[in-house]
Amino acid sequence: MQISLPQPDAGAIAHSQALHAHIKQMIQQKNGWISFAEFMQLALYAPGLGYYSGGAKKFGAQGDFVTAPEISSLFSRTIAHQAAQVLAALKLQSIHGNILELGAGTGRLAKDMLLELANLNQLPQQYFILEVSAHLRVVQRETLQASLSADLVSRVIWLESLPAEFDGFIFGNEVLDALPVHLIKQNAGVPFEVGVAEKVGDAGDAGFVWQEAVLQDLNLQRFVEQLHLSDGYLTEICPLASALMASLASILRHGALIMIDYGFSRQEYYHPQRRQGTLMCHYRHHSHSDPFAYLGLQDITAHVDFTRIAEAGVEHGLTLEGFLTQAQFLLNAGITDLLQEVPADDLEHYLPAVTASQKLLSPAEMGELFKVIGFKKNLELPLLGFSTGDKTHTL
């Protein structure tokens, strides 16, 4: 497929070629074929080479995409109000609550949340960041050290794996969509796994090509059978999302867990008309569907099956609090109150804040595409962000 994308510089091209060679070697070691989940894992997370483990700028106007925390501090401050409610409730139970953020991007969400929690006098003892990218950990430290007091910075602890147990508020924004997915295609009533093989051109220069294999994984087979896919239907399945939820459920003793991402309920995700799946790539604010382009320089994502997330959470001991749109969650948690704190006659600050809130709330922007799912464990408290507009019945 021919796509028109901005041209990377020589250094970026060299980086991409190095990752290409690494993936090619892995394919050769696996007898000429790897699943797309394996390919996506390498493309995003191969040490020093993958998109998230490399050093290219990813977030913001100069990167490949913009996330909600980069749009406005209103997003993070609103999340902070939900976190503060949880921390205050735990404090009444004589439990010292912490915050755990999964994948902290540039660190801006952590920065704005800590500042707001300080204003609310509800600071956690520790603000943990689980970050697999060494490069992003450096970026996050720089962001926090440049903006926060020494006391607030001292509360932040970076993790490379989940703690054994946790009390408090766990939060992930656009984490689930970056988990590697399996590509499945139904052919003549039989499910096939769409994987990646090496393709050698006439000039000897190797590329990659899609190659199907009969689906072997019994768990994936059982799941596909429940979907009743029509012939030619192509879609994604993400077992790692269930595994992550199981891990989070196992460590959470008292508190709440909230995930925000773009996605659908299962019925909508695997709708008969969604025959080409949801796989999407992002490079310098260009969206396209070719994961083989600019390896290591572009993001690769798939929408989230939120029914799968709900099932995994409940199966492993969490109580499902609710499922709703990002707009409804932010409204419930008080984003309009925060916006009203900006004087309307202060045009320098008020107009950008209004514009940003429109992007976060508008159905034409992020408001309805992004969903929020929430869970609790040993917390007798209706969560602020789920007070109205719940759509759990659609899961």
Which pLDDT tens digit goes with each residue over 49-80?
999 887 655 555 555 568 999 999 999 999 99
Segment 108-126 mean pLDDT: 98
> How many angstroms from the chain centroid is the CA of residue 255?
21
The CA-atom distances, in angstroms, between 235 and each of 19, 221, 260 are 26, 13, 21
Q: What is the mean pLDDT of residues 354-377?
A: 96
For the chain, give the mean pLDDT.
Answer: 93
- On the question of pLDDT at 168 being above 70, the answer is yes
Helix (H) or strand (E) holding 68: helix 68-71
Right CATH for 59-177+241-264+301-376 from 3.40.50.12710, 3.30.830.10, 3.40.50.2300, 3.40.50.150: 3.40.50.12710
Distance, CA of 111 to CA of 257 (rounded, Å): 19
- Which pLDDT score is estimated for 106? 93
- What is the per-residue pLDDT across 193-226, written as a single tens digit (0 to 9) for each? 999 999 876 554 568 999 999 999 999 999 999 9
pLDDT at 284 over 90: no
Q: Assess whether pLDDT exceeds 90 at residue 248.
A: yes
Average pLDDT value for residue range 226-255: 97
* Residue spans per domain, the chain: 59-177+241-264+301-376
pLDDT at res. 3: 63
Give the pLDDT confidence score for residue 206 in this predicted structure.
64
What is the distance between the alpha carbons of residues 27 and 25, in angstroms, rounded to a whole number?
Answer: 5
Reported confidence tier of residue 1, pLDDT bands at 50, 70, 90: very low
Question: How high is the pLDDT of residue 201?
Answer: 67
Output the six-digit token pair for 328.
């409804």
Confidence label for 390 from pLDDT (cuts 50, 70 and 90): very high
Give the pLDDT of residue 2. 53
Helix (H) / strand (E) element for 187: namely strand 182-187
Q: Determine the pLDDT at residue 99.
A: 98
- Between 206 and 337, residue with greater pLDDT: 337
Looking up tokens 């060299």 gives 14
Q: Whole-model pTM?
A: 0.94
From 173, 95, 164, 127, select the one nearest 378 (Cα to Cα): 95
pLDDT score, position 202? 56
Please give the full DSSP string across 9-58, using - where no structure is assigned: -HHHHHHHHHHHHHHHHHHHHTTT-EEHHHHHHHHHHSTTTSTTTS-S--
